[in-house]
Chains A and B, each alone.
Chain A
Amino acid sequence: MEPLIKVEDLHKIYNPGENEVRALDGISLEIQKGEFVAIIGHSGSGKSTLMNMLGCLDIPTSGNYFLNGKDVSRLSDNALSEIRNKEIGFIFQGFNLVANLDAVGNVELPLIYRGLGKQKRRRIAVQALKKVGLGTRMKHKPNELSGGQQQRVAVARAIAAQPPIILADEPTGNLDSKSTKEIMNILKALHTGGRTVIIITHDDEIASQVHRVIRIIDGRIEDDYLNEEREDTHYVF
């Protein structure tokens, strides 16, 4: 079967020339549909750059990136926008909610850019918020919500458009242990539900909770292994 994500010899070089920084230095990897992957590395290891590449937020200096078999490494800005909208649900460390929109408004954002009508959008957004347990907080603005609740809004936004890939960049980085557990449970449930979930983290504890761990050091894949000992708990969503 064709892998969902296939990366070949990906390079990203900043400041080419004397002071060049090789953020990615020849990454090749494949991720199958339905996998639950953690990309782990210290700050400066290149994991965020890899996440930007996988999320189609940036284009590589060289190498190829096939998403669903289609080469997306040389696409235009607008084409990448469309792919992000359809294929990828983002969850960020800093939540990245729009401050002057309420919870529903934030969840509706990707649906607006997909071109859905007002009522359909509202219905999908409300459903997504209920799924993450925020059915009673829909009209709250981000500053009226706790960190954990904000991140759940962000998760609702990521899953609302039903993208095949969930890309989470340090999703628990700003959260306390209780909220961390909640968010991880939601991500595990998403994986169980058939989504491909990729978490970028520096935290070994988080990495130990997923199936497959890819460790990045200095822009290269250092290690790529399966957490065999992990219990296969099924979280019901």
Chain B
Amino acid sequence: MGQFLEYVKMALDNIRSNKGRSFLTMLGIIIGITSVVTIVSIGNGLKKDVVDASNEQNNTVTIQANEDEVTDTKIITGDDIAYLKTSLNDSVQSVSAAETSIGKTTTRKGTFDTYITFTTPDYENAQYTSPLVKGKYFTDNDVSNANPVCVIDEIAALYLFGNTNVIGMSLELAVDSGIQEVTIVGIRETSDDMMEVEQTYQMMGMEKSISTLEMPYTTAESFGIPLDAFSSVSVTVYDPEDASKTASSAVQILNARHQNLGDAPFMQQKPLNLSDMFGSIMDGVTAFVALVAGISLIVGGIGVMNIMLVSVTERTREIGIRKALGAKTGSIIFQFLCESAIISGMGGLIGILLGGALTALISALEIGGIHAQLSWPAVVVATIFSCGVGIVFGIYPARKAARLSPIEALRRM
């Protein structure tokens, strides 16, 4: 065994003299390793995207009526919301409450499904809302007078009127049991998310879009929906670090204003720990898919074993010669093991390079919006595993070769 390099050289010589076959044998390992590395890297990227996305939410906290303390949860009034806004300091971007409803909008262009948000003026700056591009948002005055005004988004304007010069125009809105003329006061930019929804609808062949409409919450009553208080209020802060502090002071303020309802009628809505949840789901999915891909590695390993067995049969005579000239059992085993380990190791290396390249390509092209991230643990495991496959699946053929009796081997022509 002292001549490690000799056996490596013998193995390399033999791989070189059977280039085509060696490559085809490697192919199984290459495909296996490429898929495992790529899949784990994609999973890695997805997980990071999801965790990042769910961490973003943290600058909005929601205060809700405590269901264990109060029977009627609709206890947050417009006054409460206005008071909260003034009481909390400058770090607060928006304090708003909203109820949503579904209705139909009719203009000269036809009738459209509509998604209505009955809300407070500060909803303008709530999280996930896009800036206004035309007009202005409805005001406290609109709220107290229950003026039938609304803010719509650009794409809805295009659907409903064919252009976006629609400030001051009116549309007919039917919600629940009421129908009313509503005047448009502002237009929001259509958010990227809404654009995607639109594109999906168009792809699905749905001609009519669902438009979104925001109105003073006090107008809900005119449609037959009683809405004078909310069960929760959302507070958005500029800096996510202020979120928890702001949440507890908001709870204190509301509790103080509603002392008659009990000790603690309000509580902070427990934020779902989405990042952990999605993270572990992604890990599980990735592990499962990687395992499936890993099965192809075993298939690849069997390919290596098969070719090595063929090689042993083909080279019976050579093995006989080597043994006659003094090769020991260990030397022959080692020579053949080197060969299978090199074949699968090289396959693994090529697979890692290909997997890395695919990962980079997927990241660069953002296929499916995925930011794949090369997973180094996957690379290390793949390297060890591919060499391991060669050795494990090489042992049987190598032993078979080494156990050949030299006279038997030499007799075969």
| A-to-B contact residues, CB < 8 Å | 52, 55, 57-58, 77-78, 81-82, 84-86, 90, 92, 94, 96-101, 109-110, 112-115, 157
Q: Which 3 A-B pairs have the closest CB atoms?
A: A85-B326, A113-B326, A110-B325
A96, B3: Cβ atoms under 8 Å? Answer: no
Secondary structure at chain B's binding surface: helix, strand, loop or mixed? helix
- Among A78, A81, A82, max chain B CB count under 10 A is at A81
Across the interface, name the chain B residue whose C-beta is closest to A51: B407
A109, B407: Cβ atoms under 8 Å? Answer: no
Known contacts being A57-B407, A58-B407, A94-B413, is A84 close to B325, with CB within 8 Å?
A: yes
Q: Is B285 an interface residue (CB 8 A)?
A: no
Across the interface, name the chain B residue whose C-beta is closest to A110: B325
- Among B13, B17, B326, max chain A CB count under 10 A is at B326
Q: Which residues of B contact A78 (CB under 8 A)?
A: 328-330
A84, B328: Cβ atoms under 8 Å? Answer: no
A-B contact pairs, 13 of them (CB 8 A): A52-B407, A57-B324, A57-B407, A78-B329, A82-B326, A84-B326, A90-B325, A94-B410, A96-B320, A96-B410, A99-B318, A100-B14, A113-B331
Q: Could you tell me the distance between the alpha carbons of A34 and B281 in the complex, rounded to whole angstroms?
A: 81
Q: Could you tell me the distance between the alpha carbons of A157 and B325 in the complex, rounded to whole angstroms?
A: 9
Q: Mark B1-45, 1 if CB is under 8 A from A, else 0.
A: 011001000000110010000000000000000000000000000
Q: Which residues of A contact B17 (CB under 8 A)?
A: 100
A90, B13: Cβ atoms under 8 Å? Answer: no
Q: How large is the interface on B (under 10, 10 to 19, 20 to 34, 35 or more residues)?
A: 20 to 34
Other-chain contact of A98, B6, B321, B326, B331 (Cβ < 8 Å) = B321
Q: Could you tell me the distance between the alpha carbons of A64 and B326 in the complex, rounded to whole angstroms?
A: 22
Q: Which residues of B contact A57 (CB under 8 A)?
A: 324, 405-407, 410
A82, B324: Cβ atoms under 8 Å? Answer: no
Across the interface, name the chain B residue whose C-beta is closest to A116: B3
Other-chain contact of B322, A77, A92, A109, A114 (Cβ < 8 Å) = A109
A-B contact count (CB 8 A): 63
Q: Could you tell me the distance between the alpha carbons of A53 and B407 in the complex, rounded to whole angstroms?
A: 10
B325, A85: Cβ atoms under 8 Å? Answer: yes
A81, B318: Cβ atoms under 8 Å? Answer: no
Q: Is B317 an interface residue (CB 8 A)?
A: yes
Across the interface, name the chain A residue whose C-beta is closest to B331: A113
B321, A84: Cβ atoms under 8 Å? Answer: no
Q: Is B323 an interface residue (CB 8 A)?
A: yes
Q: Which residues of B contact A101 (CB under 8 A)?
A: 13
Q: Which residues of B contact A94 (CB under 8 A)?
A: 410, 413
Q: Could you tell me the distance between the alpha carbons of A109 and B407 in the complex, rounded to whole angstroms?
A: 18
Known contacts being A98-B321, A99-B318, A100-B13, is A113 close to B410, with CB within 8 Å?
A: no
Q: Could you tell me the distance between the alpha carbons of A112 and B320 in the complex, rounded to whole angstroms?
A: 16
Tell me the minimal C-beta distance from B10 to chain A in angstroms.
Answer: 8
For the A-B complex with A81-B327, A97-B321, A112-B6 known, give 9 more contacts whose Cβ atoms are closer than 8 Å: A81-B328, A84-B326, A86-B326, A100-B14, A109-B321, A110-B326, A113-B326, A113-B328, A113-B331
